[in-house]
Structure 1
């Protein structure tokens, strides 16, 4: 007996039918010059040797921001890919974390598959490449709440770090731990964010790794994590002042100030989960990606919303800043580009104003209604994050 996967062949509520119809209408828009792909997109990363190229997780692909070309496809994983990273060295390697609990790798130049890194007991959620003591290291964080450090050349697991009580969502290199004159440091400091709402700090070297606290930690004892959110922290982004921007499932993006013991300086309120945040320091913009399908541009000086880019028709999952362009990816299977150039941003804002003042309103996602309490919603979100 044949089986259908067409949603129209199954019983559906009026709400689900309305949602399908809304997305079908909105999917026809061309805002952001969409590049359409064949699967949902969960992550995006820049090519460190080519500012105009991005890597995203369509198992796997390299796309050009300038042309929209899908120039290279990397194959291998049968399960969904959640994160990507690229080494910045002569023999470049592309890494992809996967639902199959492993990390896949390929040569960027030849596209040939390389080593497979196996050690996590649950989905691999985030990857980071660093170089310490002239050795390339790969750092991975998983839904198993574990961080692992790997020797890229040998594939050997060097360290296993435990501290988070739920899944590790993101890893970011502390810019103040970079060497001053380009020499390879003996150790670097890496920040990690988790579904347990905690941000932790780690000193990582080739021969040692440990959790560290803030130099001005108030209380003696074990290192204290940074806790400024109510629930899962999805993304970490260091700005040019080496302060930290965070994106969270508590519907906020926050600015945490280093010199104030990582206390909150700014909180940008959203109607739904904030999935990513990037900073355009030159023009003073903060850009956020939200589960409500929108890409928002905020004034970094005032914390006020400046403009909302509408185009995606499902959750926006990742952002990348490339010059004056913000690249966004979504589970609607499109890559879109949004300009931060003053004149183009002004025109986009004017056009949006005309729509509000008398034109046709853009199709908006419905307001999510729930019978759960706020606390129950947060707990459910954390459990779902750990199993993504």
Structure 2
């Protein structure tokens, strides 16, 4: 699931300068959407590149001319109407409605904005969701309308966006029922909360990998090969690196060059990853050949505990260097499997062992290396269930 962060910036939050600060922070923090009134769409376009959702109202219907810059990416209804309680729900409402109740005569709206005051509004949100691409629900009392109900009932029917006021509430929304809301609408003027909510979104989508140790069975000099350094656009911590290997089922943890040495300054944005043929893991759980990486691609970073995050590749350097072949055996459910990779013969390339960080040049048979192992075959980087022999 790809989750999203929406920032509320319509006229209910204040004047234009207040709204502008929210929008600017949202763009700088990497939020996905801003929700504004239709009159502000062109203003948002001038501030930066972000998806714009706009409230439609009866007053907007008189405007017949719509320029490209004034066109929103999505239109929502519900503000100043039945959705937010400004207009009461119909007396004959019995849990049967659709988005047309909120649209009135405007057929452009693709989404609904509904505040949940009681069970009738919960039912109203459920019915509107069947006709809405985006359904934003603002819980006025979550003891009456738990988010679990909406996720369970309409989570597959619409892009369900939960209203929140803090990053902590956003984390809860992303984790509810283990599935979580598809997104959150954050209502705050606090820039730190906006940034923290975007980070909470990113963290909710990341993998937690189960790493294990493999025992080194051989370290052999293989001569020269084309070696790949992956320079990312992110600084890595001391315990972070990448998973790389010659075999798709077994990837070795290789540290980023965060350590100082007598030979070269630390480069905490770099992983000296191996030869051009080797696999590297991507944020989606696939693999890519090191030779295929280029500026702008994404790779998966991992720490020694298996926590992951994504990083953008800034540059890839391929040079001829002397290499080692590192071979290891890993315990599996079916016995013992042998995996291997090629790493540069240099003191600055470090791997994670049971005894701590160790240079490749100091590796010995019997050392235990941190690896990621999954008993699957891969086809064009994707895990497949078929018989493939790698050796």
Query: Could you tell me the TM-score, scaled by structure 2's length?
Result: 0.25
Higher helix proportion: 2
Query: Could you tell me the TM-score, scaled by structure 1's length?
Result: 0.25
